[in-house]
Amino acid sequence: MTRQQTLGKFFEMPKGVKGPPPQQSKLEEMWGKKKKPVEAAPKKDIMKKEDKRDTDEVQPSKSENVGSKRKQSPEQPTEPAKTQKLKKRRVVDSDEEEEDEPTAGPSTRDAQPEASTSSSSPPAPPSKEEKRRQEKRVPIPQGRSFASKKREAPPPSSSPPATDIDEAESEVAETEPEEEDPDDEGESEIEEDEAAASTNVEAAMDKTKLVDLKEGWKEGTPVPYAALAQAFTFIEATTKRIEKTALLTALFLLVIRRSGEGDTQSLLQTVYLCINRLCPDYMGIELGIGESLLVKAIGESTGRNLSTIKSELKKEGDLGLVAMNSKNSQKTLFKPKPLTVPFVFTNLKEIAMSSGHSSQNKKVSIITKLLAACQGSEAKYIVRSLEGKLRIGNAERTVLVALAHAVVLAEQEKANKRLSKERLTTKLEEASATIKAVYSELPTYDIVVPALLESGIDQLRERCKLTPGVPLKPMLAKPTKAIGEVLDRFEGKKFTCEYKYDGERAQVHRLDDGTVGVFSRNSEDMSKKYPDLMEQLPHCIKDNTKSFVVDAEAVAIDRTTGKLMPFQELSRRKRKDVKVEDIQVRVCLFAFDLLYLNGEPLLHKSLTERRELLREHFQPVEGEFDFAKASDGETTEEIQAFLEESVKDGCEGLMVKMLDSDASYYEPSRRSVNWLKLKKDYLAGVGDSLDLVVVGAYYGKGKRTNVYGAFLLACYDADGEEYQTICKIGTGFSEEALQSHYDALKPLEMTKPRGDIKIGGAKPEVWFEPKVVWEVLTADLSLSPIYTAAQGLADERGISLRFPRFIRIRDDKSADDATGPEQIAEMYERQVLAQSKGGKKGKGGDADDGFW
């Protein structure tokens, strides 16, 4: 018999069995020396060991395979009820909490179990050393134990020493590969929220001391900008989403605690500065000050000459760091008055709204005034805010979750109640789900934040509903490569096929007072771009229609022939100061969904009902307004014929949508599997085009000597706030196109890449400010050691495009709207799955994605 699993379990040896020889050196290793804490192990290993340990405890037969290192006692019977195989849960690395964070209470593993009735003889009492070892045991943080929730807690005395676990579990991990459960992907988002909620309570309370200033600030006084800068520094220093959430929760909680009675502006302005915005998207007030203007302002406020600042910028690659270093090296006679959040917010808004011939000097003057009052790291974040990128990896969904958690904790403090951990965790999860749902329908903090503070999280759905005039993020479709995939997805369910028009997404709003607005998929107000649409709309609205929100596509049309024209024709229209009499490219609006009607949101009605209401309250007008052409065919032949007809009519392909049940509800800001797109290009290609940002270029040779010959493209990671290189594209351009691209990109040239471009091994000769978005089609996706797109998602290497082909410039998209790494990883995994012809299912194949 080899070294026992635990000593206390086997003090009474069976008769006739000789005990093992003494192994004092190992005892000294376990008890004599100071043990390494559990958290010192790598995060992935900790999660794997916990899951494995649970499996081993309920499946003794598996642990016997480990060999002599962990052999089960013959006297220990197996309980049949526990032999059922447990499903493993996948845990995202970035969602694990920091190792040194305090626990939220005792772990479920430390709970005292009921007396076992299956043992043939009672165990001997533990020795003094055994007791001491149990007392010193480090509890596993709550955020890591959620995967084993609802399982019976194992007896403490049955846990093997830490050294045994390390050796045995690694061997089990090697010999027994885990089988993936297809249901895991659907649960991952719930598990992440559960983990965030369960760990965030104690962590946020602890982080308030970290985020708070040494001297704090008095209740009812403005929030110091130094508190934000300090929080940003901690957020920038970690990659873990749960820790970012805890830091933001702590910051928001402090602001709520110290805001005066009826003060909603302090929290509102703090939230806006955390996401680097000044107002809702549809208002169109944006920061994004040019580099030369900022360099000039830094020089004026610090007294340094411009050439020194520029040379330091080349070295650092981050103007925010340059500003902070310049400011901190400056000697001042007196300490400036501390910056406050209202002061910074007001001045940033004034800068963004400045226009006219003298606006440049006015902007420099305001920026100089702000920088002169900066202390510590404040200058870094002021300048980054002005550039339009904070670069702290702060996704908006993290801000929303933190806001929900902070309000719940503040409500609990105000009511002077202490909920149990389980109830509080549940309440935090519900609050996160509520604020996400509400914000997707009404994406404006101007309404959501005051409603939260005044009515609380429980009344938020009543206070904040879909409202005409506030555009919501549109529902998007998943790409599919074959009609067979469509039939598999919608098997046994009612669905419809609609033309996928080659135009620009348009969300049309009409308020009760008759005001009409048209918004793009990015919530940009396009009313001035489409004055002809504004004139046409009254003709198609029936008398019984007072207010509405319609989802539609604006398509270029030849009025004489009635033929639809491609998107390139639409992109030729002017974007500003458009006069109806000057318009040469006319548009027709094709409506395909109705989201709001006469005071009632329709998001939770089936598509069948929404489509009937759309046809009842609107009427077609030739060449101006029509309903999207649809067919309810269910066979491969019918869909194929309709697809060919759509292509013949000048469309991109088909949109296939669920008609009935809650699967047909409209889901704002989500790319859903309940809508599938089937383009003509998809049938033989990779499955979807990509919208990529031009970040670099290579000089041409031969005929291309005076222009760029090839370009470096990148996708955009919204969570990390960074651009990830994906491919070099240089074929398929005409000489005219190359000259046009050169003229457009030349003003964006930079001597050094921006700090938010994750370069990898790419070495372009010229770098660009990331602004121009191209739509690109590719024949294939492959793993690459050079490019960084989706690195760590599908493989440790990045993903690149093989034989990329330029399709068009996406004027309707900003760089932040480019394709994300998650979608690229999913496309790659779908491709691998298709090539393996029925092999193991890749992760995320059918999961919804989008804003959340």
The pLDDT of 517-541, averaged and rounded, is: 90
Orientation of helix 445-455 relative to helix 421-441, angle to 10° = 150
Is the distance from CB of 730 to CB of 748 less than 8 angstroms? no
**What is the enclosing helix (H) or strand (E) of 781?**
strand 780-784
Tokens encoding 275: 């996401």
- pLDDT (tens digit per residue) in 174-228: 333 333 343 344 444 555 555 556 666 666 677 888 889 888 899 999 999 999 9
User: 535: how many CB neighbours lie within 10 A of its CB?
Assistant: 12
- Rounded distance, CA 676 to CA 267, Å? 40
Tokens encoding 189: 């988002």
3-state secondary structure of 498: strand
From 727, 745, 743, select the one nearest 805 (Cα to Cα).
Answer: 727
Taking phi over 0 as left and psi of -120 to 50 as alpha, with beta for the rest, 68 belongs to alpha
- Rounded distance, CA 615 to CA 613, Å? 5
Tokens encoding 407: 């309000």
3-state secondary structure of 106: coil
Residue 63 pLDDT greater than 70, yes or no: no
pLDDT band at 16 (very low <50, low <70, confident <90, very high): low
- pLDDT (tens digit per residue) in 349-396: 999 999 888 888 999 999 999 999 999 999 999 999 999 888 898 889
From 53, 210, 188, 201, select the one nearest 141 (Cα to Cα).
Answer: 201
User: 15: how many CB neighbours lie within 10 A of its CB?
Assistant: 5
Whether 49 sits among the annotated catalytic residues: the reply is no
DSSP-derived secondary structure for 229-291: HHHHHHHHT---HHHHHHHHHHHHHHHHHHSPTT--HHHHHHHHHHTT-SS-GGG-------H
163 or 551: which leads in pLDDT:
551
The pLDDT of 275-298, averaged and rounded, is: 90
- pLDDT (tens digit per residue) in 166-176: 443 333 333 33
- Rounded distance, CA 697 to CA 774, Å? 14
Tokens encoding 110: 């430390």
CATH 2.40.50.140 segments of the chain? 690-850
Please tell me the predicted confidence (pLDDT) of residue 313. 87
pLDDT band at 330 (very low <50, low <70, confident <90, very high): confident
238-242, 472-476, 577-581: least confident range: 577-581
- Rounded distance, CA 615 to CA 631, Å? 15
Orientation of helix 306-316 relative to helix 291-302, angle to 10° = 120
131 or 296: which leads in pLDDT:
296
- pLDDT (tens digit per residue) in 782-801: 899 999 999 989 888 999 99
Beta bridge partners of 476: 671
Question: Please, how many CA atoms are within 13 Å of residue 303, restricted to the half-sphere of its CB?
Answer: 7
Check: CATH 3.40.50.300 for 291-387?
A: no
Q: What percent of the chain has pLDDT over 70?
A: 73
- pLDDT (tens digit per residue) in 77-111: 444 443 444 444 444 444 333 434 443 343 333 33
Is the distance from CB of 688 to CB of 780 less than 8 angstroms? no
Rg, the chain, Cα only: 30
**CA geometry: angle 296, 301, 303, nearest 5 deg:** 85
Check: CATH 2.40.50.140 for 690-850?
A: yes
Please tell me the predicted confidence (pLDDT) of residue 192. 54
- Rounded distance, CA 226 to CA 375, Å? 8
From 492, 835, 483, 832, select the one nearest 845 (Cα to Cα).
Answer: 832
Residue 286 pLDDT greater than 90, yes or no: no
Check: CATH 3.40.50.300 for 476-659?
A: no
Q: Which residues contact 599 (CB under 8 A, 6 or more apart)?
A: 512, 546, 547
From 537, 533, 556, select the one nearest 547 (Cα to Cα).
Answer: 537
Is the distance from CB of 235 to CB of 380 less than 8 angstroms? no
Is the distance from CB of 626 to CB of 663 less than 8 angstroms? no
- pLDDT (tens digit per residue) in 308-327: 998 888 888 889 999 999 99
User: Residue 61 is which amino acid?
Assistant: S
The pLDDT of 724-730, averaged and rounded, is: 94
Mean pLDDT: which of 154-158, 253-257, 390-394 is highest? 253-257
- Rounded distance, CA 140 to CA 389, Å? 37
DSSP-derived secondary structure for 416-454: T----HHHHHHHHHHHHHHHHHHHHHS--HHHHHHHHHH
Question: How does strand 773-777 pair with strand 805-809?
Answer: antiparallel
- Rounded distance, CA 47 to CA 94, Å? 12
478 or 165: which leads in pLDDT:
478
Is the distance from CB of 244 to CB of 393 less than 8 angstroms? yes
- Rounded distance, CA 351 to CA 504, Å? 31
User: 97: how many CB neighbours lie within 10 A of its CB?
Assistant: 28
Please tell me the predicted confidence (pLDDT) of residue 480. 83
Residue 40 pLDDT greater than 90, yes or no: no
pLDDT band at 755 (very low <50, low <70, confident <90, very high): confident
CATH 1.10.3260.10 segments of the chain? 291-387
- Rounded distance, CA 852 to CA 834, Å? 27
For the chain, the distance separating the N- and C-terminal CA atoms, rounded to the nearest angstrom, is: 54
Question: How does strand 548-557 pair with strand 516-519?
Answer: unpaired
Tokens encoding 96: 């694990």
Q: Which residues contact 740 (CB under 8 A, 6 or more apart)?
A: none
User: 144: how many CB neighbours lie within 10 A of its CB?
Assistant: 24
Please tell me the predicted confidence (pLDDT) of residue 184. 41
* Helices and strands in the chain, H and E counts: 27, 22
CATH 3.30.470.30 segments of the chain? 476-659
pLDDT band at 743 (very low <50, low <70, confident <90, very high): very high
Residue 702 pLDDT greater than 80, yes or no: no
Residue 516 pLDDT greater than 90, yes or no: yes
| CB-based burial label for 261 (10 Å; 0-12, 13-18, 19+) | exposed
Is the distance from CB of 654 to CB of 497 less than 8 angstroms? yes
Q: How far is CA 425 from each of CA 314, 431, 692, rounded to the nearest angstrom? A: 48, 10, 40
- Rounded distance, CA 387 to CA 381, Å? 10
From 87, 77, 83, 79, select the one nearest 62 (Cα to Cα).
Answer: 83
Is the distance from CB of 83 to CB of 58 less than 8 angstroms? yes
Residue 669 pLDDT greater than 70, yes or no: yes
Residue keyed to tokens 């609380």: 456
pLDDT band at 612 (very low <50, low <70, confident <90, very high): very high
- pLDDT (tens digit per residue) in 531-571: 888 888 999 999 999 999 999 999 999 888 889 998 878 87
3-state secondary structure of 333: coil
- Rounded distance, CA 566 to CA 574, Å? 16
Please tell me the predicted confidence (pLDDT) of residue 202. 66
From 584, 582, 604, 585, select the one nearest 595 (Cα to Cα).
Answer: 604
User: Residue 717 is which amino acid?
Assistant: D
Q: Which residue among the candidates 9, 363, 500, 758 is catalytic per the annotation?
A: 500
Please tell me the predicted confidence (pLDDT) of residue 573. 81
- Rounded distance, CA 58 to CA 82, Å? 5
